[in-house]
Structure 1
């Protein structure tokens, strides 16, 4: 499911002539915002439910360069969820479908009034249930990676 479409802004290009590593994180952050809008946590939804989502952890893998003006799309797969958390996997592609980067993230539902974790409101939970979910036996190859020097 494509959750976000964008382009590489000129301000995102660094001294190497391609999208700076920090800007990949920006694109994935925008994808989280698009996910929030998709499940009903846009500005009015956040106000209505007194609820938001925070990012707890992210793991970003760079695969290919992106260049100024290049069209981008971000696809979403839900890896797991419980009453308060979403384990999501994003894939960033270029216009030819080449994989540019991935971002695996743990997101937490937060009661905006207390600033504490809280279960998803029922309508939000229903929208989450409709997201494309990976089968446990067929997770994306780049999910669940760890950082290590392999010896």
Structure 2
């Protein structure tokens, strides 16, 4: 499910001639906002429920360079969820479907008044159930990775 689309802006290109690493993170952040809006926690939803989403952890993998003007399509897969957390996987693709980068994220539902974790409101939980889910036996290849030097 493509959750967010954009193009590489000129100001995102660094001295190496391709999209700067920080801009990949920015695009994934905007894709996360698109997800949050889709499940009903846009500005109106946050105000109505007094509820928001925080990012707890993110793991970004770079696979190919992106260049000025290039189309970026961010695909979403829900890896797992419970009553107050979402484990999501975003894949950034070019128009030919080549993987440019991925971002695996753990998101937490929070009551705004207390700043504490809280279960998703029922309507939000129902929308989360509609998200495309990964088969637990066939996660995306880059999901669940750890960082380390292989010896």
TM-score bracket, normalised by the shorter chain, equals: over 0.9
Matches within 5 A, 1:1-150: 1-150=1-150
Taking the aligned partners of 1:48 and 1:11, their CA distance within structure 2 comes to 36
Q: How many residues align?
A: 151
Residue deviations 1:13-70, cap 9 Å, x none? 1011110000000000001100001100111011111111000000000000001111
Q: Which ranges in structure 1 are unaligned for 5 or more consecutive residues?
A: none
Residue deviations 1:82-117, cap 9 Å, x none? 101000000000111110000000000010111111
Taking the aligned partners of 1:39 and 1:96, their CA distance within structure 2 comes to 28
1:10 Cα deviation after fit: 1.2
Q: Which ranges in structure 2 are unaligned for 5 or more consecutive residues?
A: none
State the SS of the aligned residue for 2:35.
helix
State the SS of the aligned residue for 2:97.
coil
1:146 Cα deviation after fit: 0.5
State the SS of the aligned residue for 2:137.
helix
Give me the CA root mean square deviation. Answer: 0.5
State the SS of the aligned residue for 1:57.
strand
TM-score by length of 1: 0.99
TM-score by length of 2: 0.99
State the SS of the aligned residue for 1:97.
coil
